[in-house]
């Protein structure tokens, strides 16, 4: 009986992961203006609450903002969402982020990511790759409170800095590593 229940839970969460990873890309890809507006609003909120992000934006080549990422899982998990790439404050393209994982994890949450691409190489890699898998390619630093205290435009030497903000919900496990970022064709 316990195996049946365990199998049912596994099947349920596999289905939920599929929905999380596929549905946002299809339903939101059609409304690029809405994605851009939400990304711009999220970036404004980040700048209001995090002076380090605002300062970093002055030297970044571009900023990729995912305003509404959904993460969920129970052993099998996933995340997904859509965002906009800004170059010199102008929206130039929309992207999808997705990941699936298996392991010790439980919960659900929504959050936002802002990825500051600091080098031409990082920008070119995003443009030239058919789908950029985080953890391969340009070097990436996740900015937490400790890193933010010492990060300035003169000490920023890595290719990409990622700010996670607007966290709601509770999730243990699953990280940014292994997420795939793909351009959404209009």
Residue 56 three-state SS: helix
Which helix (H) or strand (E) element contains residue 171? strand 160-172
3-state percent helix, strand, coil for the chain, nearest multiple of 5: 35, 40, 20
> In 3-state terms, what secondary structure has residue 181?
strand
141 touches 162 (CB < 8 A):
yes
pLDDT for position 62: 94
Question: For residues 107 and 170, what is the distance between their CA atoms, to the nearest angstrom?
Answer: 6
Cβ distance 149 to 79 under 8 Å?
no
Give 70's contacts (C-beta < 8 A, 6+ positions apart).
20, 24, 79, 80, 81, 108, 109, 110
Considering only CA atoms, which of 37, 150, 121, 131 is closest in space to residue 84? 37
39, two tokens: 């990304």
CB 138 within 8 A of CB 118: no
pLDDT tens series, the chain, 186 aa? 556 455 545 544 554 554 444 444 444 444 889 999 999 999 999 999 999 899 999 999 999 999 999 988 888 888 899 999 999 999 999 999 998 877 777 888 898 999 999 888 888 888 777 666 655 444 455 554 444 344 344 444 567 888 888 888 776 654 545 678 888 876
**101's tokens:** 């994982």
- Give the separation between CA 133 and CA 98, rounded to whole angstroms: 9
Q: What is the pTM of this model?
A: 0.74
d(CA 93, CA 123): 12
List the chain domain ranges: 2-184
């Amino acid at each position: 009986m316990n195996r049946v229940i365990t199998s049912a839970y596994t099947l349920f969460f596999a289905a939920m992961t599929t929905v999380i990873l596929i549905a946002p890309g299809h339903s939101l890809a059609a409304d690029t203006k809405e994605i851009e507006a939400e990304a711009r609003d999220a970036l404004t909120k980040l700048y209001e609450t995090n002076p380090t992000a605002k300062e970093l934006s002055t030297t970044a080549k571009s900023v990729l903002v995912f305003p509404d990422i959904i993460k969920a899982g129970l052993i099998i998990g996933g995340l997904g969402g859509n965002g906009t790439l800004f170059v010199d404050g102008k929206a130039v393209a929309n992207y999808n982020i997705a990941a699936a994982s298996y392991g010790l994890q439980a919960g659900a949450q929504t959050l936002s990511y802002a990825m500051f691409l600091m080098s031409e190489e990082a920008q070119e890699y995003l443009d030239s790759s058919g789908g950029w898998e985080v953890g391969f390619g340009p070097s990436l630093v996740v900015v937490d409170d400790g890193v933010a205290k010492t990060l300035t435009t003169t000490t920023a030497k890595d290719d990409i800095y990622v700010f996670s903000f607007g966290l709601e919900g509770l999730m243990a496990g699953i990280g940014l590593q292994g997420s795939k970022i793909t351009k959404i064709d209009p």
